[in-house]
Amino acid sequence: MVQDQVRSRNRIAPVNILVVGSGGREHALCWTLAASPLANQLYCAPGNGGIAEVAVCVDVAADDVDGLVKFATSTSIRFAVVGPEVPLVAGLVDALEAAGIATFGPSAAAAQLEASKSFTKDVCARAGIPTATWNNFVEPDGAKAFARKLGAPVVVKADGLAAGKGVLICNTLEEADAGIDAILGGKFGAAGNRIVVEQYLDGTEVSVFALVHGLQVQWLASAQDHKQIGEGDTGPNTGGMGAYSPAPEMTPELEAKVMQQVLLPTARQMADDGRPYTGVLFAGLMIVDGEPILLEYNVRFGDPECQAILPRLRSDLLTLLIAARDGALERVSARWSDDAALTVVLASKGYPGSYGKGSEIRGIAEANKLEGVTVFHAGTVRDGKTLRAVAGRVLNVSALGRDVGEAQKRAYAAVDRIDWPEGFYRRDIGWRALAGSHE
């Protein structure tokens, strides 16, 4: 096992590590892994302008499976961490493991939990996991008829990977018809060749994360994110405009329910199906009258949830990830700060639609000087000494505080030090926690 190779009773043998991805999640992973005594040289492919401060960035795309395997084998990488969903679904973990590179993340077969929402719904049906009433369709007439049967509001989802934007909350049947036509008509490309139409659930949405190896499941953390573009959680969905951790609703009693009713049955069913799961499992839940109902699974750390979770971690992340890959979760446990953390996303004007690229960003160093603040880069490049924006979501300003209120104040004080006229952000991240309302 990797754990036995990098540690012995009397010494630590640091290893070369590769992180795959280029977003804020990968910056948070690299920032955390760089502090591990088990880390020797840290690489990130392809990385970004902020990751370059803590790791060697490698010009290989995250979905270039052959290129990543070639780089890892030629650079004596001993452990790899795959951040985004696209290379996981494409089988990057399988390819790296076949080449002798120990890798954290699920196989392509197990990654179907995120690649296909209808696949996940079928797993729920077989395992008895609570989820919304649903059906899947490849043509619009049946989908529209089912939406009418459910009644408005109703949820319409692209079945495949849509970068967090493929879920439409339709308040009227007319909106549902339009959403069905848009998705099946190509709004999200091949991800929308099949759609899921499901019952709308009224409750509190919570994200939970666990490390899994086969039948071993260890709870990690909870978070709540703000998916919508506008203040007060209004407008179209995005990849995420901010998050905070822990989720105030996640009591020990509810955590136990999530483990027994959702996470453990999923691990057992995937193993029974010949698709044993290894990696981090991210469950999006709706809490209705105190009961957890599964909305969907993601097979990687959330973005921006990861940027709110990892600053709270007090254990060695690399040790945890190695234990999950090796099936040794009983040997480790995650320790957490009592502080809350909150992350504000800064995005390019126009996102989630079309946006410009190449604008200059200033003030990051000043923001990072504030107590408890870390700025994670998501879509930046270095142009000499100039930092430029090159993506939709560009920066994640994360802050720790005694509670969500203090973390929010610190995060926005840091945001105010960043000079980027071409960017925008929400001013109300964490508002539900502060209002004491999570409905």
pLDDT per position as a tens digit, 173-190: 999 999 999 999 999 999
**Residue 240: CATH number of its domain:** 3.30.470.20
Q: Sorting pLDDT into bands at 50, 70 and 90, what band is 1?
A: low
Q: Sorting pLDDT into bands at 50, 70 and 90, what band is 439?
A: very low
The whole model's pTM is what?
Answer: 0.93
140-180 residue pLDDT tens: 999 999 999 999 999 999 999 988 788 999 999 999 999 99
Considering the domain architecture, whether residues 359 and 429 belong to the same structural domain is answered as yes
Considering the domain architecture, whether residues 209 and 308 belong to the same structural domain is answered as yes
* Total domains, the chain: 4
Is the pLDDT at 10 greater than 50, yes or no?
no
Tokens 């839940």, residue? 285
The mean of the pLDDT values for the chain is 95
Which pLDDT does position 162 carry in this prediction? Answer: 87
The region that residue 254 occupies, defined by phi over 0 for left and psi between -120 and 50 for alpha, beta otherwise, is alpha
Q: Which domain holds residue 280?
A: 204-331
Instruction: Give the integer Cα–Cα distance in Å for 297 and 127.
Output: 14
Residue 215: inside a domain:
yes
Q: Sorting pLDDT into bands at 50, 70 and 90, what band is 2?
A: low
Q: Are 163 and 154 in contact (CB under 8 A)?
A: no
Percentage of the chain lying above the pLDDT 90 cut: 94
Considering the domain architecture, whether residues 231 and 284 belong to the same structural domain is answered as yes
Which pLDDT does position 6 carry in this prediction? Answer: 52
Q: Are 130 and 291 in contact (CB under 8 A)?
A: yes
125-136 residue pLDDT tens: 999 999 999 999
Residue 114: inside a domain:
no
Instruction: Give the integer Cα–Cα distance in Å for 187 and 181.
Output: 9
Which pLDDT does position 9 carry in this prediction? Answer: 37
Average of per-residue pLDDT across 42-46:
98
Whether omega for the bond prior to residue 46 falls within 30 degrees of 0, making it cis, is yes
Residues in the chain, how many? 439
Instruction: Give the integer Cα–Cα distance in Å for 171 and 344.
Output: 28
Considering the domain architecture, whether residues 315 and 421 belong to the same structural domain is answered as no
Considering the domain architecture, whether residues 309 and 239 belong to the same structural domain is answered as yes
CB-based contacts of 240, cutoff 8 Å, min separation 6 = 164, 225, 226, 227, 302, 303, 304, 305, 345, 393
Considering the domain architecture, whether residues 185 and 213 belong to the same structural domain is answered as no
